[in-house]
Chains A and B, each alone.
Chain A
Amino acid sequence: MTENQTERKAWMGLLARAPEGRVAELIDAHALNQTMSHLRPPEIGSVMVQGRAGGTGAAFNLGEMTVTRCTLRLDCSTVGHGHVQGRRKADAEAAALVDALMQTDAADRVRDTVLDVLEEEERLRRATRAAKAAATKVDFFTMVRGED
């Protein structure tokens, strides 16, 4: 995978995990004024999630999850893809728009106003949860039974 692909993979994941409505909130008005056309209008479907027996063994089908995807093209013919969890057409469209803009001159601004914010919010969400989990960490100790 090239460096560009690794970067793109990272922001697409971030967009997929963002809370409902958040990406659209962060995109500024200028970006929303972009004229664009749908190559694939927002579409709801499912993805079969796989697990592995024993965590590391043979793959098996765990069950499906809902996913919404969208592909659009900016006037400059840059193509953006969006995949988000759940049934969220507006969010899939917003994700595709950000993906497209990140491949244009607007990338720096979009990184500052959208991706960096999402990243920080996600980091905070996870840190809070991890801190609550850490507060429930126990040290069980076995009692001396008096055999010695």
Chain B
Amino acid sequence: MYVAVKGGERAIENAHAWLAEERRGDPSIDELSVAQIREQLSLAVNRVMAEGSLFDPDLAALAIKQARGDLIEAIFLIRAYRTTLPRFGSSEPIETSDMQCDRRISATFKDVPGGQILGPTFDYTHRLIDFKLAADGEIPDAAEVPTDPEPVPHVTGFLNKEGLIEEALDDEEAPRDLTREPLELPADRALRLQALTRADEGFTLGMAYSTQRGYARNHAFVGELRIGTVPVEMDIPELGFAIEIGEITVTECESVNQFKGSKTERPQFTRGYGLVFGQTERKAISMALVDRALRWEELGEDFVGAPAQDAEFVLYHGDNIQATGFLEHIKLPHYVDFQSELELVRKLRREAGASQVQEAAE
């Protein structure tokens, strides 16, 4: 029988007041503003937007402040807030080929139209702690090279021309939405991509790494990685046409994988796809690798029992809010449950003890 616990109100209130005090830290140190978090911890903000599944940098920054920097707690706050908003509708699919790129690299082609643009990257840094940052150092100005806007076409397009890579064709279907209906298997690719783009970065990274180490071996190249802004268009019924309702930053990764061919497909390159809110390239590359591993069935590959091939395993365990909700609930009062366990163990011990006495007597 379940008996709810009562009482503890004062202790809870006091705990929360202390939490607020601890969140503030030493009051002789300046308080962080939400704008400071948004501007100076922007990659944390991006992660909270991606996994919170809501693009709103100010809100994500506020959530990080409230959560004392615990990003999963911040994501939890964003997910909860999201459910309070009325949904105005769905956008047109964003056109990533129109992206204004801050960064765009290809590991497969050296000379790509539009060029290799490193952007504001950690790559090629020495990963040494920079003590100048602690000393209120001056920031060097970023160099500028005035440039005319030129189109930056998708790299996979070049392989498409030779027919060496599978094409990604539009099926014109309205995608299923796991925020509106429970995630049920089998999940088509659209639903898998939605689950992956909001999945925990650490989980997705671990899954992707496992494919590189040989579980569902799929040697992946980063065909293209691009980060930048794209406009979002939505059809407005009152107007009778679509307008831009804003501009978002996204990271897109296309992986290119070897494919020896199967019963149904000729040998060619296949693709994995990652698209994530914000500047989030570790997550986008991971997503592309896991997406590719999950496509084994439609490509006629064998299921070799690797975790990254198992849609149920990946999709049901990648959401950090579901996971942490279930995991953390076991620390809340379970006195009655445990009381019955205790009774059971005592009873088993009594029975075991009685039979030992009986054996000894015989």
Which A residues are closer than 8 A to B by beta carbons?
1, 5, 8-9, 12-13, 16-17, 43-67, 69, 71, 81, 83-87, 126-142
Main secondary structure on B side of the interface with A: mixed
Closest chain-A Cβ to B211's Cβ sits at a distance in Å of 18
Q: Are B90 and A48 in contact (CB under 8 A)?
A: yes
Q: With the chains together, A60 CA to B174 CA distance in Å?
A: 8
Q: Are A61 and B175 in contact (CB under 8 A)?
A: yes
Q: Are B90 and A137 in contact (CB under 8 A)?
A: no
Q: Are A49 and B145 in contact (CB under 8 A)?
A: no
By Cβ-Cβ distance, the 10 closest A-B pairs, closest first, are A54-B168, A85-B246, A57-B168, A13-B244, A131-B144, A60-B190, A65-B55, A134-B147, A135-B143, A136-B118
Which residues from 115 to 141 on chain B have a C-beta closer than 8 Å to any C-beta of chain A?
115-121
Q: Are A137 and B117 in contact (CB under 8 A)?
A: yes
Instruction: Give me 10 other A-B pairs in contact (C-beta within 8 A), A48-B91, A62-B250 excluded.
Output: A46-B54, A46-B88, A47-B234, A55-B156, A81-B236, A83-B245, A85-B246, A130-B147, A133-B119, A137-B116
Q: Which of B147, B194, B239, B243 contacts A16 (CB 8 A)?
A: B243
Q: Are A65 and B232 in contact (CB under 8 A)?
A: yes
Q: Are A66 and B56 in contact (CB under 8 A)?
A: yes
Q: Which of A13, A58, A135 contacts B189 (CB 8 A)?
A: A58
User: Of all chain A residues, which has the CB nearest B177?
Assistant: A61
B side interface size, CB within 8 A? 82
Please judge, given known A-B contacts A17-B244, A45-B85, whether A63 and B238 are in contact too, CB under 8 Å: no
Q: With the chains together, A133 CA to B229 CA distance in Å?
A: 13
Closest chain-A Cβ to B39's Cβ sits at a distance in Å of 13
Q: With the chains together, A123 CA to B156 CA distance in Å?
A: 30
Closest chain-B Cβ to A89's Cβ sits at a distance in Å of 14
Closest chain-B Cβ to A95's Cβ sits at a distance in Å of 10
Closest chain-A Cβ to B64's Cβ sits at a distance in Å of 16
Q: With the chains together, A60 CA to B53 CA distance in Å?
A: 13
Q: Which of B94, B190, B241 contacts A9 (CB 8 A)?
A: B241
User: Of all chain A residues, which has the CB nearest B103?
Assistant: A133
Q: Are B169 and A57 in contact (CB under 8 A)?
A: yes
Bitwise, B191-208 to A at CB < 8 A (1) or not (0) is 101100110000000000
Q: Are A13 and B197 in contact (CB under 8 A)?
A: no
Closest chain-B Cβ to A113's Cβ sits at a distance in Å of 22
Which residues from 248 to 275 on chain B have a C-beta closer than 8 Å to any C-beta of chain A?
248, 250, 252, 254, 271, 273, 275
Question: Across the interface, which residues of B come within 8 angstroms of A17, CB to CB?
Answer: 231, 244, 246-247
Q: Are B175 and A47 in contact (CB under 8 A)?
A: no
Q: Are A48 and B82 in contact (CB under 8 A)?
A: no
Q: Are A86 and B58 in contact (CB under 8 A)?
A: yes
Question: Across the interface, which residues of B come within 8 angstroms of A128, CB to CB?
Answer: 144
Q: Are A62 and B277 in contact (CB under 8 A)?
A: yes
Closest chain-B Cβ to A83's Cβ sits at a distance in Å of 5
Q: With the chains together, A69 CA to B246 CA distance in Å?
A: 12
Closest chain-A Cβ to B178's Cβ sits at a distance in Å of 8
Please judge, given known A-B contacts A50-B90, A51-B275, whether A136 and B119 are in contact too, CB under 8 Å: yes
